[in-house]
């Protein structure tokens, strides 16, 4: 343990790599990928005829502070009668990553980038995902454009999909943009350098909030996830903080949801099969009803997204401190998302959580393989050529991508637990306030608030219930296993 504490970042990176390997993911790029990378062209080889040049528009990106794999840009404009035109540019990763090449095969195996605080395991080599296929500032890049027109009250009037060249004029970050939108912080420097960006941010924020309200009235569910993020000073972990779901994140989220719907509708109109992202109607609805009853609420006997959203919104307002734990309970009972193949004439399964019927992942081809699949399907449809994937191949990929994304989430969760154990290692014996997050036949779990971390309750336990506030004492930690054990000091 002493050597582990010296270089904490390296220790956590090793834990992450081993966790990936144990779950069937490849933490390192194999030799054929490196060989192909050594001969990768510095620009796409394909002809660019028929591609619109939109590089003069004031495109900008908004992502995490430390993100370098930029998948999408946005720009907007005002049209007559209050109509707002929003264009979303998605990086044309396929222009440099051909289907069936070693780089593509590795991406197909892992299916997603894996993000941990100590080390990022990108789906594509960094020369691509953070450089040649990333929509970086001040360089021209090929992209797929989804151009959407919205009415003054936020209703989608229509969309057009085409290929173009774009140029990122300002790389922005969620927290800084949100601090400016909500005040009183200054506009980020990168935005100040481009005169149009400030007004476009205001315009897009206003529209995104309308889209958000419309989705909620249709039954889209509002959750608040427990997403701790470790901070380092050099190689030592110094703190763990929760990532806020702020206005800038909501802005990008709404436009990406709208784009994913438009892409699904476009491919459906072409008559072929496509890879959809679905969350089925909850089979454990009866258990969700019981949870709501515990909060004094009554839900209908059959799954009803609007009723569930009303309940969640009320609880968020009444008890924001405990809302992340309620969110986690409902998410688990709803079941995780999955990829399926859907065809033009089939009945869509839909996405229960987003309250949409036609939905796919399409906006992050540098980070997710299903988005790269969709990109290739869209490009083939635009070119009027056969789809690059057969129905049977799509079906196999749907199951594989679902399994690998689940494995990646488990890796990220395991490393977050190791991060918390490492931060708390020197605090054994200290007392914390916490919230009971789970009680079943196997034991009980608690989430402490500062730092945000979850652990197991050991020793003699009083009668506990979900959401109860208790005082606990830290008993032990295991960085390698990601275990944190607490004992109950006293219940509240």
323 shares a domain with 198: no
Whether 66 and 188 map to the same domain: the answer is yes
In this structure, is residue 422 part of a structural domain? no
305-311: Cβ within 8 A, 24+ apart: 305/218, 305/219, 305/220, 305/221, 305/352, 305/353, 305/355, 306/217, 306/218, 306/219, 306/355, 308/219, 308/221, 309/216, 309/219, 309/220, 309/221, 309/222
Indicate the average pLDDT of the chain.
Answer: 90
475: domain CATH number? Answer: 2.40.50.140
User: 326 and 289 in one domain?
Assistant: yes
Shared-domain flag, residues 302 and 441 = no
- Residues 192, 180, 314, CA angle at the centre, nearest 5°? 155
In a domain, 32, yes or no: no
Closest to 289 measured CA to CA, from 298, 276, 277 = 298
d(CA 322, CA 184): 28
Please report whether residue 442 resides in a domain. yes
For residue 3, the model assigns a pLDDT of 47
User: What pTM did the predictor assign?
Assistant: 0.90
Count of domains observed in the chain: 3
> Percent of the chain, pLDDT > 90?
66
Q: What is the pLDDT of residue 131?
A: 96
Say whether both 322 and 365 belong to one domain: no
Is residue 419 in a domain?
no
Q: Domain check: are 237 and 164 in the same one?
A: yes
Task: Supply the pLDDT for residue 4.
Answer: 47
Q: Please name which of 64, 66, 126, 119 lies closest in space to residue 235, comparing C-alpha atoms.
A: 119
pLDDT of residue 491: 62
Give residue-wise pLDDT tens across range 274-321. 999 887 767 778 888 888 888 889 998 888 878 888 888 888 888 877
How many Cα atoms occupy the beta-carbon half-sphere of 163 within 13 Å? Answer: 20
In this predicted model, what pLDDT tens digit does every residue of 188-228 receive, in sequence order? Answer: 999 999 999 999 999 999 999 999 988 878 777 676 666 78
Low-confidence ranges of the chain (pLDDT < 70): 1-6, 44-48, 221, 223-226, 281, 344-357, 491-492
Q: Does one domain contain both 224 and 106? A: yes
In a domain, 446, yes or no: yes
Same domain, 116 and 157: yes
- The answer to the question of residue 417 being in a domain is no
Beta bridge partners of 221: none
- Residue partners of 341: CB distance under 8 A and separation at least 6: 273, 274, 275, 276, 391, 394, 395, 398
Same domain, 148 and 238: yes
For the chain, the straight-line distance linking the first and the last C-alpha, in angstroms and rounded, comes to 35
- Cross-strand partners of 165: 53, 142
Residue 137 falls inside a structural domain: yes
Give residue 363's domain range: 47-273+353-405
Judgement on whether residues 380 and 466 belong to the same structural domain of the protein: no
Instruction: Provide the pLDDT for residue 217.
Output: 81
Residue 1's pLDDT is what?
A: 44
């Amino acid at each position: 343990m002493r050597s582990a504490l010296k270089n904490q970042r390296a220790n956590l990176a090793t834990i992450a790599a081993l966790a990936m390997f144990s779950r069937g993911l490849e933490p390192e790029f194999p030799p054929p990928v490196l060989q192909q990378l050594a001969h990768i062209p510095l620009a796409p080889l394909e002809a660019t005829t028929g591609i619109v040049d939109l590089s003069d528009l004031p495109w900008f990106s908004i992502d995490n502070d430390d993100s370098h794999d930029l998948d999408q840009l946005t720009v907007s404009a005002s049209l007559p009668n209050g109509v707002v035109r929003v264009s979303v540019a998605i990086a044309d990763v396929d222009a440099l990553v051909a289907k069936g090449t070693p780089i593509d095969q590795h991406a197909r195996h892992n299916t997603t980038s894996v993000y941990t605080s100590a080390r990022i395991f990108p789906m594509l080599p960094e020369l691509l995902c953070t450089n040649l296929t990333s929509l970086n500032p001040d360089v021209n890049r090929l992209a797929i454009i989804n151009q959407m027109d919205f009415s003054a009250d936020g209703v989608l009037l229509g969309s057009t999909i085409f290929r173009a060249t774009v140029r990122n004029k300002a790389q922005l970050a969620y927290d800084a943009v949100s601090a400016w939108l909500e005040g009183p912080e200054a506009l980020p420097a990168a935005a100040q350098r481009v005169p149009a960006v400030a007004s476009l941010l205001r315009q897009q924020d206003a529209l995104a909030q309308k889209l958000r309200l419309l989705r909620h009235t249709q039954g889209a569910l509002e959750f608040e996830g427990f997403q701790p993020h470790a901070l380092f000073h050099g190689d030592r972990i110094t703190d763990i903080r929760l990532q806020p779901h702020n206005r800038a994140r909501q802005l990008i989220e709404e436009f990406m949801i709208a784009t994913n719907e438009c892409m699904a509708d476009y491919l459906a109109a072409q008559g072929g099969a496509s890879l959809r992202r679905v969350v089925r109607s909850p089979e454990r609805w009866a258990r969700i009803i019981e949870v709501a009853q515990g909060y004094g609420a009554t839900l209908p006997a059959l799954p009803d997204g609007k009723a569930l959203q009303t309940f969640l919104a009320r609880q968020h307002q009444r008890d924001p401190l405990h809302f992340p734990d309620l969110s986690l309970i409902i998410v688990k009972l709803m079941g995780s998302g999955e990829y399926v193949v859907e065809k033009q004439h089939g009945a869509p399964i839909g996405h229960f959580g987003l309250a949409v019927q036609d939905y796919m992942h399409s906006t992050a081809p540098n980070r997710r393989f299903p988005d790269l699949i969709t990109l290739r399907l869209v490009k083939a449809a635009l070119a009027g050529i056969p789809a690059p994937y057969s129905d049977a191949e799509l079906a196999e990929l749907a199951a594989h991508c679902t399994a690998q994304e689940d494995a990646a989430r488990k890796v990220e969760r395991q490393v977050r637990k190791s991060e918390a154990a490492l931060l708390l290692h020197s605090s054994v014996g200290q007392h914390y306030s916490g919230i009971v997050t789970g009680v079943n036949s196997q034991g009980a779990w608690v989430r402490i608030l500062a730092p945000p971390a979850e652990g197991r309750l050991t020793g003699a336990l009083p009668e506990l219930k979900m959401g109860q506030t208790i005082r606990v004492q830290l008993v032990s930690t295991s960085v390698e296993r990601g275990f944190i054990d607490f004992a109950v000091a006293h219940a509240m």
